[in-house]
Each structure stands twice: as structure tokens, then as C-alpha cells.
Structure 1
């Protein structure tokens, strides 16, 4: 079942690449008592994700944080090494936290997985963005196949 606005985020663990290597981040620590914008992309280094989705959140990080957002998180079904490299490539350091959901476990817990096997990508996450306040989903924006509108940083800014 797909998560909805008003639902509590499920428990889980994502992985962040740090100077000490891959480091687990629990969702309880990530979302508890904080306002977080979480967005998901189908894959690091893919065209729309690299040209528009992540760059929009990097560009508008200051505006999002000025509206009370404690952390902006990019999640993808990739490994932490790839997410770390992509974040460096995109200038995300200090603006957007890059978290890996390597086996799609958390994406599946949200009910937001997609089957990319036809493109040689396996199971991936749908493109979406959500606003989470103290572990509760306040806004959920899921894109249709091939779309990029409601999960953009610009759209999320209008919801804060």
C-alpha cells in the first residue's frame, strides 16, 4: 500500500556516504522532531535527475531552509558510493543529504517502487517529493511515468 499524506513514516535505515565510509541513518533520527523534505529519483546520474531534479533542490536549498526545513534529503535505489559521488558531482554537499536505499527496502515500505527492468535498471523508486513534519507526511507529490512537475523544488516551495 502506498503511503499517503497524514501517515507516519515507516521505520527503516538508509545509508549516507561520509568521510568514514557508508554510514547508516535511521528514519527515526532523520524524521523525528524535524521538518524534512524527502525527494526520490529513479537513479543517480540519469538525465532528468541530473539535469533538473537534484539541481533544483541544490539551487533552492536556502529558500527551503528559510521556510523551516531542517534537512533536504535525496533518496535513490543506488548504493552509498554512487550517491556520494553524484552528490559531489552536483555540488550537493551542505545543501542536500544524499541517502542510498540500495536494495529498495525503504522504497518498498513506502509503496513507491517501480519496475525499471525494461530499461535494465531493476526495481527503482518512483520520482516523488514529500514534506515530513515530526515523522508524519504532510504533503506527498508522486510523478506519473516520464513526468517532472510536482516533485520539483519549485513546487515543494509553494507547499511550505
Structure 2
């Protein structure tokens, strides 16, 4: 079952790379007391994700923050090293938090998994975006398979 508007973000602990090395980070810490946009991509360095999805949020980060968004998080079922490299390549520093969901724990808890085995991707997360305030989902925008419309930065910017 998929998460819905009005639901609380599940409590999950993930690992990510920081300047201090590998660190644990909890969704409770990410979302508590803040307005957060979380967008999920099927995979770092994949065509639509690299050409449009992440760059759109980098480009519109200041506009989102001007509308009260305190943190923008990019999530993918990829390892921390890949997410760090992808973030560096896209100059996300100070704009986007790169959140690796390496084992798909948060993706599964949200009920937004995708079976990409037909494309040799394994199990990944669907392409989506959500807006949460203090850990409660206020807007959820899940793409139809193969689409890139409602999870774009431009679309989300109109919703916040």
C-alpha cells in the first residue's frame, strides 16, 4: 500500500556520505519541524534523471526555498558513493540533499517500489515527488510509468 496525503513519513534510518564519512540519517531528523520536498528517481546517472529531474530541482532550489521549503531531498535506490558522485557532478552543494536508499528500505516503507528487472535495473523506486510538513505528507505526485510531469521541479513549485 502506498503512502497518501495526510500520512506520516515512515521512520527509517539510512546511510549517506558526508565530509566526515559514512553517517546514519533518520527520516525523523530529515522531516521533523520542516517543510521538505522529497523527490525520487529510478536511478542516478540514468537519462531522464540526469538530464531533467535532478537539474530541474537544482535550477529551481532558490524559488522553492523562497516558498518556505527548508530542505530539498533527492532519493534513489543507489549506494551512497553513487549518490555522492552524482550530486557532485550536478553541483547540488547547498541546494539538494542526496539521500541514498541503498537497500530500498524507505522506498518500500513508502510503498513506492518499482520492478525494473525488465530494464536490468533490479528493484528501484518509482519516480515521484512529495511535499511534507513536520513529517506529514501534504502533497504526493507519483508519475505514471515512463512519464516525467508531476514530479518535476516546475510542477512541484506550482504546488507549494
TM-score range, shorter chain: over 0.9
Q: Does 1:51 align with 2:67?
A: no
Partner of 1:35: 35
SS, match of residue 30 in structure 2:
helix
For structure 1, which runs of at least 5 residues remain unmatched after alignment?
Answer: none
Deviation above 6 Å: which 4+ runs of structure 1? none
Within 5 Å, give how 1:17-28 maps onto structure 2: 17-28=17-28
Distance 1:81 1:129 in 2: 23
Partner of 2:113: 113
Q: Per-residue deviation at 1:16? A: 2.3
Q: Does 1:73 align with 2:73?
A: yes
Partner of 1:149: 149
Whether contact under 8 Å (1:127, 1:142) holds in the other structure is: yes
TM-score scaled to structure 2, two decimals? 0.98
Whether contact under 8 Å (1:22, 1:81) holds in the other structure is: no
For structure 2, which runs of at least 5 residues remain unmatched after alignment?
Answer: none
SS, match of residue 11 in structure 1:
coil
In angstroms, what is the RMSD of aligned CA positions? 0.7
Q: Per-residue deviation at 1:119? A: 1.1
